[in-house]
């Protein structure tokens, strides 16, 4: 068994391998009880399912917070010292990998940069959603094939599963004026915190102070600032009579990305055909290529269609402004996965059928839940999972996605799945062949052949 000094030394060792995570926790202590609960449930299940890092993390978090539980887990650590020592080699390997990672270019923002001609930024959606181009990338060897999105049916067979994010975009962009000075204020509703309290982005944010009231539609809707947060965020309490979403339909517009300068004639074109659960501040754009007819074709081939929900917010589209990507703050977004969806995906994987995940938002739901429980199961909550090269995927191996902005967390995610060189080479190929980029652009199918 460990002496106290040896145990302390070992704790420091395992803790250092999760240093970036503990730094994150220090900034986001509201996640403390959630994380603790996850690891504790694993312990209740079976001791050997928890990594030494998990146990060390429990002890570190409990120190100076709960003396009774702290002693309890210290004793668990001592009682399982032999099992933990066996994992020391693994920990050393992880530490070495982390050192290599920190000394490589993988954590540098410029590593995910590329040059894109402005003319290739799609300003409007195509008349036929499924007529967009589709670049098929073999993630194992980097080979590419040029197809059209409607060809996706050819890649799927009976028993395969496709996973869609059924979130629905709200007309979240509002233009109003301060009730006192009449100054024009633009408000983007990001996330419903509770009841009528919303996290928002404001422009210009400096003009919105605590107590500021912004009026929209000659008072049909008012918003009172009740909290000022970092990064220009404001929390508003909305004041209105009637049904909020009906009011937003009257006053709001679709929150199109800033690189789109053309007016969107049909608001529904920034909505998937299967959108259902209201709550997003941006569309899950990989799904915009699907038509009802295409989904029917897949059903006729007896392909399973499963749904998850992730309400797109800052976590997805906030730009990275730090040179070291680990210093980037991922904002949390709400997600849900049903028992039905979890069961379908688990069965698909068990039967060695193809699982095709549509969009990075769907990826983040599945990987969040699989990381949390070690398997897929019914769940809901908030996720700020940040996936970049070095991440080991637990569920996803095939992905339908769009072409993403340079230096974005989305480029980092697809680079983690298919390899950064493969991704940027595929992007160069797409540019050479005049693919359309970003939200209204063409698609990429990353396939595990």
The reply to whether 79 and 128 lie within a common domain is: no
User: Could you read off the pLDDT of 238-289 as tens digits, one per residue?
Assistant: 999 999 999 999 999 999 999 999 999 999 999 999 999 999 999 999 999 9
Average pLDDT, the chain: 85
Looking at the 3D structure of the chain, how many domains does it have? 3
The answer to whether residue 279 sits within a structural domain is yes
Longest dimension (CA), the chain: 73
The answer to whether residue 113 sits within a structural domain is no
Domain that holds residue 18: 4-103
User: Could you read off the pLDDT of 62-85 as tens digits, one per residue?
Assistant: 555 555 655 665 555 555 545 544
| Residue 165 predicted with pLDDT over 90 | yes
The reply to whether 359 and 277 lie within a common domain is: yes
State whether residue 393 is helix, strand or coil: coil
Beta bridge partners of 185: 176
Beta bridge partners of 215: 177, 222
- Token pair recorded at residue 153: 């049916």
The answer to whether residue 47 sits within a structural domain is yes
* pLDDT of 140: 95
Which residues touch 447 (CB under 8 Å, ≥6 apart)?
136, 137, 138, 139, 155, 398
Mean pLDDT lowest among 9-18, 174-183, 238-247, 273-282 = 9-18
Q: Which whole number is the average pLDDT over 299-324?
A: 93
The answer to whether residue 358 sits within a structural domain is yes
Q: Quick check: 178 and 213 in contact, CB under 8 A?
A: yes
The reply to whether 271 and 212 lie within a common domain is: no
CATH number for position 370: 3.40.1780.10
The answer to whether residue 108 sits within a structural domain is no
The reply to whether 317 and 426 lie within a common domain is: yes
User: Could you read off the pLDDT of 222-238 as tens digits, one per residue?
Assistant: 999 999 998 889 999 99
CA distance 262 to 388: 32
Residue showing tokens 């006729």? 300
Q: Quick check: 441 and 124 in contact, CB under 8 A?
A: no
The answer to whether residue 230 sits within a structural domain is yes
The answer to whether residue 382 sits within a structural domain is yes
The reply to whether 278 and 163 lie within a common domain is: yes
Q: Quick check: 221 and 196 in contact, CB under 8 A?
A: no
* pLDDT of 118: 97
Q: Quick check: 380 and 337 in contact, CB under 8 A?
A: yes
């Amino acid at each position: 068994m460990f002496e106290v000094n040896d145990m302390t030394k070992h704790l420091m060792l395992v803790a250092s391998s999760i240093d970036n995570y503990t730094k994150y926790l220090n900034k986001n202590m509201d996640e403390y009880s959630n994380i603790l609960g996850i690891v504790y449930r694993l312990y209740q299940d079976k001791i050997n399912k928890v990594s030494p890092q998990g146990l060390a993390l429990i002890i570190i978090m409990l120190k100076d917070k709960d003396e009774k539980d702290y002693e309890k887990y210290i004793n668990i650590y001592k009682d399982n010292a032999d099992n933990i020592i066996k994992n020391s080699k693994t920990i050393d390997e992880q530490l070495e990998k982390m050192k290599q990672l920190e000394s490589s270019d993988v954590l540098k923002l410029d590593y995910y940069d590329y040059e894109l001609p402005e003319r290739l930024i799609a300003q409007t959606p195509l008349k036929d959603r499924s007529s967009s181009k589709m670049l098929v990338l073999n993630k194992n060897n980097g080979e590419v094939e040029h197809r059209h999105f409607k060809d996706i049916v050819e890649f799927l067979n009976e028993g395969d599963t496709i996973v869609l994010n059924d979130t629905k975009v709200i007309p979240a962009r509002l233009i109003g004026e301060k009730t006192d000075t009449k100054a024009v204020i633009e408000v983007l509703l990001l996330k419903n915190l509770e009841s009528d309290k919303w996290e928002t982005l404001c422009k210009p944010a400096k003009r919105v102070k605590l107590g500021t009231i912004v009026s929209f539609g000659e008072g049909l809707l008012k918003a009172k600032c009740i909290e000022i947060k970092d990064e220009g965020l404001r929390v508003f309490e909305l004041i209105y009579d009637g049904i909020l979403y009906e009011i937003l339909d009257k006053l709001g517009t679709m929150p199109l990305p800033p690189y789109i300068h053309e007016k969107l004639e049909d608001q529904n074109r920034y909505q998937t055909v299967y959108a259902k659960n209201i709550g997003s501040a941006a569309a899950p754009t990989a799904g915009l290529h699907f038509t009802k007819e295409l989904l029917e074709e897949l059903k006729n081939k007896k392909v399973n269609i499963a749904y998850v929900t992730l309400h797109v917010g800052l976590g997805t589209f906030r730009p990275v402004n730090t040179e070291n990507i680990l210093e980037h703050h991922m904002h949390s977004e709400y997600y849900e996965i049903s028992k039905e969806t979890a069961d379908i995906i688990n069965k698909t994987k068990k039967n060695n059928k193809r699982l095709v995940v549509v969009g990075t938002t769907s990826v983040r739901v599945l990987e969040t839940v699989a990381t949390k429980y070690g398997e897929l199961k019914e769940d809901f909550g908030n996720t700020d999972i940040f996936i970049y090269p070095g991440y080991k995927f637990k569920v996803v191996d095939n992905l339908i996605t769009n072409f993403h902005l340079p230096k974005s967390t989305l480029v980092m995610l697809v680079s983690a799945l298919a390899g950064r060189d493969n991704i940027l080479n595929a992007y160069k190929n797409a540019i050479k062949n005049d693919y359309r980029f970003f939200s209204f652009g063409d698609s990429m199918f990353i396939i595990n052949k």
